[in-house]
Amino acid sequence: MPKKVLLDVDPGVVDAMALCLAVFDPTIEIVAITSVGGNVPAPLAAKNLQAIIEFLDPPRLPRLGMGSEPDEPPPVDFRHVYGIDGLGGTPLPVAELRSQHPAEKVICDTIRSDPENIMIICMGPLTNIARAMVRDPELPRMIRHLYITGGTTTGRGNVSPCAEFNIFADVRSARMVFHAPCTKTLVPLDVTNQVMFTLSHLDRLPSETYKLGQLLRSMILPAFNAYRQCYALEGIHIHDLVTYIVMTHPEWFETQEMAVDIETEGHLTRGMTVFDLRNIPEWPHNIDVVTQIDAKAILREIITGLGDAANQME
């Protein structure tokens, strides 16, 4: 039986790639997708989500929820990497929904409809998840499993010297979710940075004779150029895709139960995920953290899955 999954995304090129993979994956059932501000502001994230789903036209249309801006303005976004629209300038027409359902309501309704049987994959800041937990305090105990892209166990960040972007973008929401009483797995930069998507991998994706092949190249090639200019890297990191594969193929990963908190105030350390790694930790363990991955298997699975998706779209 397919796993029931709710995706919380901030599309973004990599989140868009994850959507292309997920909505055609026969091993899971996408019951809902919610947008959240992150790589791009919340209104643009909502528009991108609608445009991608309209383009993909999946066999089973999930319920969509649109996130609003966080209580504090996001300190940074990644449009310098992913383009002014977050999708590398890819022209995706969209008939925007007139009646947009709030993301936190969709999350609460979806989990309530099938308690303890739906997993959530968080690919952006945790604004929507925190708001859903405020809206329904019983919600955490009804979530089967929460997968979170974010944080770093070594203290080496990607948006500041010690903070990862998704946590940094909404630190108070992240702290609330990290302390929520639900089963959680964190997929930190320490492992996602090990997976680099390069031009050789792009060449193995569906060709431009496929609709999906055209979309992927239109989005990914500008991201390659931006990564080369901004980070001097010959490829792009695909953090959120790694988290998706963690959920679908847990046999390829090792995890360790850890105690973690989030710095919300520090001038230099805002957004840092602080782990109690002392021999006798004083903090209670509150999250499973992915510590080892099979990078080659992840890339093979992504390329195979996108090829299958391309065939289903034709």
Question: Which pLDDT score is estimated for 160?
Answer: 92
User: Helices marked H in 83-232 — which ranges?
Assistant: 103-113, 127-135, 165-169, 171-178, 189-192, 199-202, 211-231
Domains: count for the chain:
1
Q: Please, what is the angle between helix 211-231 and helix 13-22, to 10°?
A: 150
Question: Which pLDDT score is estimated for 97?
Answer: 66
Residue in the block written with tokens 């193929």: 249
Question: Which pLDDT score is estimated for 94?
Answer: 77
Query: What would the pLDDT profile of 190-232 be if each residue is shown by its tens digit?
Result: 999 999 999 999 999 999 989 999 999 999 999 999 999 989 9
Mean pLDDT of 288-303: 96
Mean pLDDT of 250-276: 95
Question: Which pLDDT score is estimated for 88?
Answer: 86
* Confidence at 133, pLDDT banded by 50, 70, 90: very high
Asked whether the predicted pLDDT for residue 303 surpasses 80, the reply is: yes
Q: What percent of the chain has pLDDT over 70?
A: 97
* Confidence at 124, pLDDT banded by 50, 70, 90: very high
Q: What is the CATH number of the domain that holds 72?
A: 3.90.245.10
Phi, psi of 232 (to 5 degrees): 55, 40
Question: Which pLDDT score is estimated for 241?
Answer: 97
* Confidence at 73, pLDDT banded by 50, 70, 90: confident
Asked whether the predicted pLDDT for residue 11 surpasses 70, the reply is: yes
Give the domain extent around 226: 3-313
Give the mean pLDDT of the chain. 93
CA distance 257 to 20: 31
Asked whether the predicted pLDDT for residue 139 surpasses 90, the reply is: yes
HSE (side-chain half, CA atoms, 13 Å) at 182 = 29
Query: What would the pLDDT profile of 12-71 be if each residue is shown by its tens digit?
Result: 899 999 999 999 999 999 999 999 998 889 999 999 999 999 999 998 899 999 998 888
Q: Find the radius of gyration of the CA atoms of the chain.
A: 18
Please answer whether residues 21 and 306 qualify as being in contact, where contact means their C-beta atoms are separated by less than 8 angstroms. yes
Asked whether the predicted pLDDT for residue 74 surpasses 70, the reply is: no
Q: Name the 3-class secondary structure at 215.
A: helix
Q: Which residues contact 198 (CB under 8 A, 6 or more apart)?
A: 234, 235
For the beta sheet containing 28-35, the strands, ordered from the edge strand earlier in sequence to the opposite edge, are: 63-66, 28-35, 3-9, 118-122, 145-149, 184-187, 287-293, 253-258
Q: Name the 3-class secondary structure at 271.
A: coil
Show the tokens assigned to 221: 């090639």
The reported pTM is: 0.95
CA distance 91 to 66: 21
What residue ranges in the chain does DSSP mark as E strands?
A: 3-9, 28-35, 63-66, 118-122, 145-149, 184-187, 196-197, 236-237, 253-258, 260-262, 273-275, 287-293
Q: How far is CA 290 from CA 159, 188, 192, in A?
A: 21, 7, 9
* Confidence at 98, pLDDT banded by 50, 70, 90: low
Residues in the chain: 314
User: Which of 96-105, 153-162, 164-173 has the least mean pLDDT?
Assistant: 96-105
